């Protein structure tokens, strides 16, 4: 399966349990709506919800409200932590010289990441001087192409959906690493296609990952059986095949 298609599929798989985790506590709260001022004003337009004895309704609603509050608190807490992390990354990038959407940080530790845009500001690629020094010119082009693919394909939105789902439901949290891996694989294919030879791209991905081992937060990703070796192995295989017959069917079936 092509990585871009896999990215959408695993993101949907992550979102599904989270939607249920939110919807299930909401449903028992519906019988309480007619008791609230705003919905009560429209009571004559709606058929009252017959949910059983009042004691049962209030008991079930209280449990549902507690469960919903826990889900919301987890999501808000996770989102706040992620916002602080993003703010710190923006602060780092703002201190660096910029040209053409590229920021080079004067730091020795090898690091590189794509910083999503926001209203009034386009996305940026942030690379440290240490990472640039660890790579040769061709490998730098691969790195920049990889990070640019993250921005152009808006991979941060897929990751945001998966992270939000993970904060809402434990089952979704187990899928978040797969979403991250699919996003990396999708971004790997862009420089590989531009280069025409997948082996130099695989070498650049592996070399950049080894350089980034100096980052404590990324040590686990640089193991011998983790995501990076899997990415390199995928790049050493043939490119994921497009399906021309399906594309032709879509074109023939498209409205003119």
What would the DSSP string read from start to end of 86-133?
A: HHHHHHHHHTS-EETTEEEE--SS--EEEE--BTTB--EEEEEHHHHH
Q: Are 46 and 60 in contact (CB under 8 A)?
A: no
- In angstroms, rounded to a whole number, what is the distance separating the alpha carbons of residues 159 and 41? 41
User: Burial of 96 by CB count in 10 Å (0-12 exposed, 13-18 middle, 19+ buried)?
Assistant: middle
- The whole-chain average pLDDT of the chain stands at 80
DSSP state at residue 169: -
pLDDT tens per residue across span 121-166: 788 999 999 999 999 999 999 999 999 999 999 999 999 999 999 9
End-to-end Cα spacing for the chain = 29
pLDDT band at 224 (very low <50, low <70, confident <90, very high): very low
Distances (CA, A) of 101 to 12, 117, 126: 31, 10, 9
pLDDT higher at 104 or 63: 104
| Structural domain boundaries in the chain | 3-41+53-239
DSSP state at residue 241: P
- Give the contacts of 135 (CB within 8 A, at least 6 positions apart): 143, 204, 207, 208, 211
Angle between helices 155-168 and 3-26 (to 10 degrees): 30
pLDDT band at 222 (very low <50, low <70, confident <90, very high): very low
The whole-number pLDDT of residue 66 equals 80
Backbone φ and ψ for 121, nearest 5 degrees, come out as -150, 130
Global pTM value: 0.75
How many residues appear in the chain?
Answer: 256
Say if residue 253's pLDDT is above 60: no
Max mean pLDDT among 39-53, 109-123, 208-222 falls in 109-123
Q: Lowest-pLDDT range, 7-16, 59-68, 72-81, 92-101?
A: 59-68
- Give the contacts of 178 (CB within 8 A, at least 6 positions apart): 10, 14
pLDDT over 90 for what percent of the chain? 37
Dihedral sign (CA 212, 217, 223, 226): negative
Helix and strand counts by DSSP (H, E) for the chain = 11, 4
The whole-number pLDDT of residue 74 equals 86
The whole-number pLDDT of residue 44 equals 55
């Amino acid at each position: 399966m092509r990585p871009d298609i896999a990215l959408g599929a695993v993101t949907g798989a992550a979102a599904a349990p989270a939607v249920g985790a939110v919807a299930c506590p909401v449903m028992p709260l519906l019988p309480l709506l007619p008791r609230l001022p705003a919905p009560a004003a429209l009571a004559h337009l709606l058929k009252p919800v017959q949910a059983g004895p009042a004691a049962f309704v209030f008991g079930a609603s209280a449990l549902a409200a507690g469960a919903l509050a826990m889900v919301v608190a987890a999501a808000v807490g996770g989102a706040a932590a992620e916002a602080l992390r993003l703010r710190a990354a923006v602060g780092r990038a703002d201190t660096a010289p910029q040209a053409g959407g590229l920021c080079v940080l004067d730091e020795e530790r090898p690091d590189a990441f794509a910083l999503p845009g926001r209203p009034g500001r386009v996305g940026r690629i942030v690379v440290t001087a240490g990472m640039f020094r660890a790579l040769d010119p061709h490998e730098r082009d691969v790195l920049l192409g990889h990070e640019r693919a993250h921005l152009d394909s808006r991979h941060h939105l897929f990751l945001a959906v998966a992270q939000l789902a993970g904060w809402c439901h434990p089952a979704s949290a187990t899928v978040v690493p797969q979403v991250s891996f699919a996003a990396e694989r999708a971004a790997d294919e862009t420089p590989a296609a531009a280069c025409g030879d997948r082996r130099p791209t695989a070498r650049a991905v592996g070399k950049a990952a080894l350089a980034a081992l100096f980052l404590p937060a990324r040590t686990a990703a640089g193991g011998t059986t983790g995501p990076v070796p899997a990415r390199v192995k995928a790049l050493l295989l043939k490119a994921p095949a497009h399906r021309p017959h399906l594309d032709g069917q879509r074109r023939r079936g498209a409205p003119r």
